[in-house]
Amino acid sequence: MSDFEATKALFDLPDGMIYLDGNSLGPLPKAAAARVARTVTDEWGKMLITGWNKAGWMAQPTAIGDRIARLIGAEPGHVVMGDTLSIKVYQALASALELNPHRKVVLTDSGNFPSDIYMAEGLLKSLGKDYELRVVAPEDVRKNITEEIAVTMLTEVDYRTGRKHDMKHLTERAHAAGALTVWDLAHSAGAFPLHLAETGADFAVGCSYKYLNGGPGAPAFIYIAPQYRDHAHTVLNGWLGHATPFAFPLEYTPATGVDRMRIGTPAVVQMQILDAALDAWRGVDLNDLRAASVALSERLIAGVEANCPDLRLASPRDPEQRGSQVSFHFQDAYALCQALIARGIIGDFRAPDILRFGIAPLYIGTAEIDAAIAAISEIIKGRLWDRPEWKTRNAVT
């Protein structure tokens, strides 16, 4: 049985703050500061360049990839860390398209994160006029997976509403139609159990700064299925994806294995923070995490609906169809969010009218949910959100 009191004690949460934004940026693990100090002072400071070998910096992207693989149900040796998620979306999509060269249509949905869509547009533009990005409504994805589709590029959990696609079902449908799949797991990894190997997904990518608590700017991950791992074209042919980078040949020969998806120098300090953050998952059963997440989400929905009829649930009502976040529509969601933040209840706002709360049982329990319900109710009942100071938008919402 997972002990979520024990995992909560591993995080440095400011006194009085109720943090319901771990779906955007996870909180600081207490072990991170000491790990950074060790990396900077003892490794970089004392070992300098020899740290690449002595401190194992060069092996980190695959070593940490294996730790993430366990959390997403991937085979060991099939996940590697590096770069940002947007870059990994580009790389995975380009690589998948090359594996299906006679088809030119990429299917995605309007619930996808805009950066994925922008990256796909940029890629397809450079590939030529015969390529097309087809964007359909999330509920229409299945029926649009036709024999024209080269690759489906989908984010499993919608960043605004928390609506969750059926990854296994859509992957099977894509394969039946002769398409490959690229799944973005930004809002899935660390949010609930994933069974990537079992679903048969071809490529998957994700970030590690949300539910995995790797800190701002933490590296992304990429997964390639076993059948492509040793021959997929890496597209972004960086030297650290080369079979023999330190032989410095001028011809590019990709490494065997998932190492080929590496590009350039890894962000060592960020990798170490992530490695320390991943210790929080020791002893956590992801099925317990999911059960706790559903119970907390149901509690939040029931409490808000009972007290605040002005807020309308934006997330699916059926927990099976939700990730690990709960969102509500409200006409002045930005102002409401700011009023909550001023009381130490941290959620966030997504345009045009969504208030989001991330549910992370590693450090959120019923006391936090009840406090959030009480604060939302008070602010709504007293119209306390309706003040000019809560309506000026910050650059980051």
The stretch among 2-10, 60-68, 79-87, 381-389 that binds ligand PLP (CB under 6 A) is 79-87
Q: Is 123 in the site for ligand PLP (CB under 6 A)?
A: no
Residue of 8, 210, 229, 343 with catalytic role: 210
Asked about 113 being catalytic, the answer comes back as yes
In this chain, which of 90, 159, 203, 211 binds ligand PLP, going by CB under 6 A? 159
The secondary structure of the chain in percent helix, strand, coil, rounded to multiples of 5, reads 45, 15, 40
Q: Site map for ligand PLP, 267-296, x if CB under 6 A? A: ------------------------------
Residues 6+ apart with CB under 8 A from 202: 96, 99, 171, 180, 181, 182, 224, 225, 228
- Contact indicator for 335, 1 with CB cutoff of 8 Å: no
List the catalytic residue out of 184, 259, 348, 353.
184
CA distance 89 to 102: 21
Question: Contacts with ligand PLP: how many residues (CB under 6 A)?
Answer: 13
* Residue range at the interface with ligand PLP (CB under 6 A); choices 36-44, 180-188, 237-245, 345-353: 180-188
Q: Which is nearer to ligand PLP, 113 or 211 (CB)?
A: 113
Least distance in angstroms from the C-beta of 187 to ligand PLP = 6
Cα(210)–Cα(280) distance, integer angstroms: 14
Residue 303 CA to residue 253 CA, distance in Å, equals 58
d(CA 115, CA 89): 9
> What's the min distance (Å) between Cβ of 73 and ligand PLP?
19
- Binding string, 197-216, against ligand PLP, x = CB under 6 A? ----------x---------
Nearest Cα residue to 270 out of 88, 95, 36: 36
Distance CA 106, CA 116 (A): 12
Of 235 and 311, nearer to ligand PLP (C-beta) is 235
Residue 205 or 373 with smaller CB distance to ligand PLP: 205
The answer to whether residue 186 forms part of the interface with ligand PLP (CB under 6 A) is: yes
Nearest to 292 by CA among 369, 355, 347: 369
Q: Which residue has the tokens 């397809």?
A: 124
Binding site for ligand PLP (CB under 6 A): 84-86, 113, 115-116, 155, 159, 184, 186-187, 207, 220
What residues are annotated to the active site? 113, 184, 209-210, 356
